[in-house]
Structure formats: C-alpha cells, structure tokens
C-alpha cells in the first residue's frame, strides 16, 4: 500500500470567497489579453505586471510610465539556469539591469530583451546583455506572484514587473484611478486549492463506448469558469471496494489525432479496455494538457525536442518544471463519486505518491504498458530514465 503519513488525508474545510476567485480569474483573462494587472503583496506594496507573451515593442516603456518604477523581468529559476545565470533549483528569479532611477535616467530592461531572455523562440544568438543581474525572490513577492499568474494562464512562466512606489497602502485607489485590475499575491498562491474546493458535478449521462457499453460520463466544473474535468465511469463500481482507477491527463494530439510522438492515445483506449475487462472502474480525464503546461506550450516544447532535447529538458528550457500537473482535482472527483480507495492503473510513481498525499488510499499499482514506435522511443526512454516511470 502507498501512503504518505506526513501529509494529512484531508485539509480542513475553508470558506470559499467567490470574490477572490473572480478577482484572480479576471486577472488571468486580462493577462492573456495583454493588459497590465496590479498585484498587491502582504506588506501592501504594489506592482504592475504584463505577460512576456504580450510584450509589444513599447510595452516595457508604457509599464514604466504607468508605474514610475523600474521594470524587471521575472522568470522561473529553471529558465534562469538554462540561461546559465544561476544553479538549477525551484522558485522565481528577478532579472534586472543596474542604472539610474526612472523616469529621470535612461537604460534598464527593454521589450526586446524581455522576449529574448524569457522565450527560447525569440532568443537571438550571442551573449547575454551586459550588466544583467539575477536574484532569487521571496515567495509572496510581486515577481513570484506574477510568474505564478502567467503559469495559471497557461502562458510562458515569465512576466515584466514594475513596482508602483506611490501605491504603498493604497492599492485599490491606485488601480481604480488607472483602470487596472487588482489581485492579491496571496490569493494567486491559494488559487489552485480554492478552485478544487469549488468542483461540482454539473452533468451526468450514459455514453456507450466501443468495448464498454455500460459507461457514463460525469462532468465536474470549477467555480472559476475554467475547463471541466470528466469522470468516465465504466460498469457499476462498488464504493465499498477499492476501485480500479486511471488518472489520464488530456492530450489533444495523442487522444484525438492519434499522434505517434507519445503513448497517450494508447493509454486512454487501453485503460478503457482494461477497466471494462475487469468489470468496472473509473477513468478520470483531467484538463491538464502537456503535463500541465497547456497545448500551446506543449507544441513549443515539441519544437525544442526537434532540436535534439528530450521532454524534460524541453519543458525546463521553456521555464517549466518537468511535470506541472496537480492531482487535487482527481482526489476531489473520486471523493464526490464515493471512492476513497483505489487500485491505480499507472506506470508513474508520482501519481501514487500525489494521490496518497491528497487523501486517497492507493492499495495497489496496476501496470499499464504499451509497445513503443520509432517516433516515441526516446519519449518513453526519458519517462523511464529521468521521470522514474516503471515499464
């Protein structure tokens, strides 16, 4: 049996502030549209941020004019290590240039430099800019919250951040005066957990499948308006018994198009066949494409892999962790379906550990292996050698 006694089986219930969810959700939408968003930290300081993906030729200058502060670039430490600015690790790093204070002086970060440093598709050949300084920032800082917001928006995990010196202690007033959405850093940090607590069953229908005719699909929707997660319930599993379960992250290219770059489509259809053959079980189809980085970033990672890098390296070159998935939604869905104990159909030991951390008792691992092809041999080898998958 797999368990993690150091983490409680269930966290204490907390009141969900829907206004907080709305604030973060609106900030995510604004960031994706290319708008500036204001972030307030616990000490009352304020910064304005824009996603690097939205940085136009004059975006940094406009952010400087808006705030009166010096813009810096916030990236993950993974990205900073790829740039050879510091050793590998986790967290967020601030990249800046020394120079006179703004607005009186010239110099500092430019939009072109922000693109070149954060986005491997835009980086020109040649050395890093002269005078570039890198510093790890504290959790809860403007820079850390800005990168987390970009990651939640499924954008590259990088943002241009400028402090607002005149807004200390008066964040709401400043944001209203400049027509900028305001969100608190702490709310961004807690967002994933709060959203999971709002998951609700919103639809349930019988959907006969090829080889599994006694099947129904249950849809779960979070209150933030984000994508739905699905439970594919095959047969009539008994909640009093350990249920055969599979956690499957959506894969547009593999599941729908039959891509040969991965084994996702085979895993999906193979799990349905196996669960049906054993009589009953549940497959959770989780909305976390590309190991949690989103479809667009997965396609970017594919382009990097085509240059000779493996899956793990490609994600880290983009600034992501090797695997950004979270399994709180899966645990919550299982609980709402009435299942507290599972036999997990997987080759990934991290799924065993994470599900146990989330309060689901994992009694057994059921192997889930499929033959490779010439397009995914390297991908499967990387999963075994670098991610510890059991084949």
CATH of the domain at 237: 3.40.50.10990
Rounded CA-CA distance 123/46 in Å is: 30
Predicted pLDDT at 122: 77
What is the pLDDT tens value at each position of the chain, 391 positions in all?
333 433 333 343 345 577 888 899 999 999 999 999 999 999 999 999 999 987 777 888 889 999 999 999 999 999 999 999 999 889 999 999 865 544 433 457 888 889 989 998 876 566 788 889 999 999 999 999 999 999 999 999 999 999 999 888 899 999 999 999 999 999 999 998 888 889 999 999 999 999 899 999 999 999 877 889 999 999 999 999 999 999 999 999 999 999 999 989 999 999 999 999 999 999 999 999 999 999 999 999 999 999 999 999 999 999 999 999 999 999 999 999 999 999 999 988 889 999 999 999 999 999 877 777 877 677 767 766 676 666 6
The C-alpha atoms of residue 60 and residue 104 are separated, in whole angstroms, by 16
Q: Within a domain: residue 311?
A: no
Q: How many CB atoms lie within 10 A of CB 218?
A: 19
| Domain annotation covers residue 317 | no
pLDDT for the residue numbered 13: 37
Phi then psi dihedrals of residue 22, to 5 deg? -65, -40
- The helix/strand/coil state of 37 is strand
**Domain co-membership, 170 together with 48:** yes
- 347 and 221 in a common domain: yes
Three-state DSSP class for residue 295: helix
233 and 379 share one domain: yes
Q: How far apart are CA 323 and CA 305, in angstroms?
A: 16
Q: Where are the alpha helices (DSSP H) in 68-128?
A: 77-82, 111-118
Residues 99 and 173 in one domain: yes
Helix H segments across 34-140? 59-67, 77-82, 111-118
Residue with tokens 């399994």: 327
The reported pLDDT for the residue numbered 169 is 82
Contact 197, 16 (CB under 8 A): yes
Picking from 260, 384, 255, the residue whose alpha carbon sits closest to that of residue 310 is 384
382 and 235 co-located in one domain: yes
Alpha carbons 62 and 155: distance in angstroms, whole number: 21
Task: Indicate whether 182 and 220 sit together in one domain.
Answer: no
Is there a single domain that holds both residue 206 and residue 127?
no
Question: Per the domain annotation, does 10 fall within a domain?
Answer: no
Q: Indicate which residues carry an active-site annotation.
A: 323, 325
Q: What is the pLDDT of residue 21?
A: 87
Residues 30 and 80 reside in one and the same domain: yes
Closest Cα to residue 34, out of 155, 189, 195, 194? 155
Last residue of a domain, one of 162, 189, 216: 189
Return the pLDDT at 121: 82
Q: Which CATH number goes with the domain that contains 30? A: 3.90.870.10
Q: 182 and 247: one domain?
A: no
Residue 294 falls within a domain, yes or no? Answer: no
Q: How far apart are CA 265 and CA 374, in angstroms?
A: 16
Helix (H), strand (E) at residue 51: strand 46-51
How far is the C-alpha of 285 from the C-alpha of 252, rounded, in Å? 12
Residues 219 and 347 in one domain: yes
Residue 56 domain flag: yes
How many domains are contained in the chain? Answer: 2
Does some domain include residue 45? yes
pLDDT of residue 7: 34
**How far is the C-alpha of 225 from the C-alpha of 210, rounded, in Å?**
31
Same domain, 234 and 112: no
Within 13 Å of residue 250, how many CA atoms lie on the same side as its CB?
Answer: 16
Structure-token pair, residue 5: 């006694």
Q: Are residues 104 and 206 in the same domain?
A: no
Is 3 a member of any domain?
A: no
Contact 323, 312 (CB under 8 A): no
Q: Does any domain span residue 320?
A: no
Which of 145, 167, 189 is a domain's end point?
A: 189
pTM (predicted TM-score): 0.87
- Structural domain including 254 reads 198-288+325-387
> Which of 189, 223, 246 is the last residue in one of the domains?
189
């Amino acid at each position: 049996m797999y368990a993690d006694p150091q983490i409680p089986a269930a966290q204490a219930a907390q009141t969900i502030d829907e206004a907080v969810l709305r604030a973060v959700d609106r900030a995510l939408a604004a960031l994706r549209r290319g708008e500036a968003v204001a972030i307030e930290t616990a000490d009352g300081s304020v910064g304005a941020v824009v996603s690097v993906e939205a940085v136009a030729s004059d975006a940094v200058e406009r952010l400087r004019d808006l705030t009166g502060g010096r813009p810096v670039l916030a990236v993950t430490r993974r990205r900073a290590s790829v740039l050879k600015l510091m050793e590998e690790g986790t967290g967020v790093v601030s990249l800046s240039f020394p120079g006179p204070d703004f607005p009186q002086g010239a110099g500092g970060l430019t939009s072109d430099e922000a693109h070149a440093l954060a986005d491997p598709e835009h980086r020109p050949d040649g050395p890093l800019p002269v005078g570039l300084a890198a510093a790890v920032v504290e959790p809860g800082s403007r820079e850390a919250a800005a990168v987390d917001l970009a990651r939640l928006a499924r954008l590259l995990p990088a943002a241009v951040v400028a402090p607002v010196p005149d807004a200390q202690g008066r964040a709401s007033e400043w944001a209203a005066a400049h027509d900028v959405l305001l969100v608190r850093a702490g709310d961004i940090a807690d967002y994933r957990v709060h959203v999971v607590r709002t998951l609700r069953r919103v639809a349930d229908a019988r959907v006969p499948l090829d080889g599994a005719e006694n099947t129904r699909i249950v849809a779960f929707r979070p209150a933030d308006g984000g994508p739905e997660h699905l439970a594919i319930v095959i047969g009539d599993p008994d909640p009093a018994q350990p249920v055969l379960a599979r956690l499957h992250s959506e894969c547009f290219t593999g599941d729908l198009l039959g891509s040969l770059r991965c084994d996702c489509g085979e895993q999906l259809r193979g799990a349905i066949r196996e669960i049906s053959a054993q009589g009953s079980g549940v497959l959770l189809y989780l909305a976390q494409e590309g190991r949690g980085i989103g479809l667009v970033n997965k396609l970017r990672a594919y382009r990097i892999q085509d240059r000779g890098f493996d899956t793990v390296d490609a994600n880290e070159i983009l600034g992501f962790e090797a695997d950004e998935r979270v399994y709180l939604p899966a645990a919550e869905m299982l609980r709402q379906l009435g299942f507290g104990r599972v036999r997990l159909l997987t080759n990934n030991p991290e799924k065993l550990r994470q599900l146990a951390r989330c309060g689901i008792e994992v009694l057994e691992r059921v192997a889930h292996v499929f033959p490779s092809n010439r397009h995914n041999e390297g991908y499967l080898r990387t999963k075994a050698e670098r991610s510890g998958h059991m084949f």
